[in-house]
Structure 1
Amino acid sequence: MSAFSSLSHKPNNGRLQLKMHTVSASLEIHDILAFMPHRYPFSLVDRVLELVPAKRIKALKNVSINDPFFTGHFPRHPIMPAVLILEALAQAAALLTIARELRKPESKHYYFLGIDNARFKRVVEPGDQLILYVSAGRNMRGVWKFDARAEVDGVLAAEANLICSVTDVTV
């Protein structure tokens, strides 16, 4: 069952109706696309395997030779760019924040403020399933800190501390 299947896609004074609190749940691609602004080729989360709002998320990126970045990175030995692994982790963090904030994404902007302690331990290649783990840390005045790591087959591929901001959209 999808985590957002109990979620009304209709706004309620700009707030979403989410009927889960500490229940671990999952999200399918349709739910992700409904709440994230990213689209192909920059949508880097294919599925949310577990979601505990305000606490943690476990998500999946299926790495395909058809991903456009493999054309030039690198033609004879394709590997996923490290910066895109960080972006996938940031998108998972945004989904975690959306579940916490209970607001329609159109009413918020999500931005990177910083990346600390980024380490890359394993190359990520076409055919890999990149599992994204993000845990929420502190949240002060719209600035979130996250501990994030990405694994392939249970082996650490990357880890970082992410700092993101959540701001209201002003028209």
Structure 2
Amino acid sequence: MTRLNTTEIMALIPNRYPIIYIDTVESLVPGQEVVAVKNVTINEQFMRGYRPDAPQMPNTLMIEALAQTASILILKSPEFFGKTAYLGAAKNVVFNRVILPGDQIKFTVTLTKKKENMGVVQTHATVNDQVVCEAELTFVVAPRDDLLKSQQAT
């Protein structure tokens, strides 16, 4: 198992403040599973604008945090080494409660399917061992230059 700090996470994924939603990776088994943590505070940029009267983390950012966690798992998997992961789809998404300032979210992502240019992961997020969100995410995996060229051609 591997642990990653914020600097090591930023070396893997392009996200930076204010759009990085993972503080640490507690465990990583390449090609299998990753567990990451986010400490939610009232000082988050999204807390000021989403619902100032009732601060909470927007559900869309929960999916983004799960996608960032999944990207780490996919990019650390040997068969996807040297490639970039792009979120392609989110299915069977369920939100069980809102995320509030002071919550510590634990993201668990398990790789369930992999092909040459894609990966599917099962995800769930917990706060105090209660599932607050779950989703199946599909990723397109490609060398960064190849994907950019194909987008420019369309």
Is the structural similarity TM-score above 0.5? yes
Identity among equivalent positions (%) equals 34
Q: Does 1:140 align with 2:118?
A: no
Q: Does 1:103 align with 2:77?
A: no
Point out where structure 1 has 5 or more consecutive residues left out of the alignment. 1-23
Q: Is the 8 A contact 2:108 2:124 kept in 1?
A: yes
Alignment TM-score, normalising by the size of structure 1? 0.81
Paired residues for 1:70-89 under 5 Å: 70-89=47-66
Q: Is the 8 A contact 2:40 2:102 kept in 1?
A: yes
Q: Is the 8 A contact 2:40 2:101 kept in 1?
A: yes
C-alpha RMSD of the superposition: 1.3
Paired residues for 1:27-38 under 5 Å: 27-38=4-15
Deviation at 1:103, TM superposition (A): 3.3
Moved over 3 A (4+): 101-104
Q: Is the 8 A contact 2:111 2:119 kept in 1?
A: yes
Higher helix share: 2
The residue type equivalent to 1:103 in the other structure is F
Q: Distance in 1 between matches of 2:76 and 2:144?
A: 18
The equivalent residue for 1:3 is none
Q: Distance in 2 between matches of 1:103 and 1:110?
A: 11
Q: Distance in 2 between matches of 1:53 and 1:162?
A: 17
The counterpart of 1:112, out of the listed 78, 87, 94, is 87
The residue type equivalent to 2:124 in the other structure is R
Point out where structure 2 has 5 or more consecutive residues left out of the alignment. 150-154
The counterpart of 1:155, out of the listed 105, 117, 130, is 130
Alignment TM-score, normalising by the size of structure 2? 0.89
Q: Distance in 2 between matches of 1:109 and 1:59?
A: 19
Deviation at 1:65, TM superposition (A): 1.1
Deviation at 1:109, TM superposition (A): 3.0
The residue type equivalent to 1:141 in the other structure is E
Deviations 1:8-52 (A, max 9, x none): xxxxxxxxxxxxxxxx12111121112211000001111000111
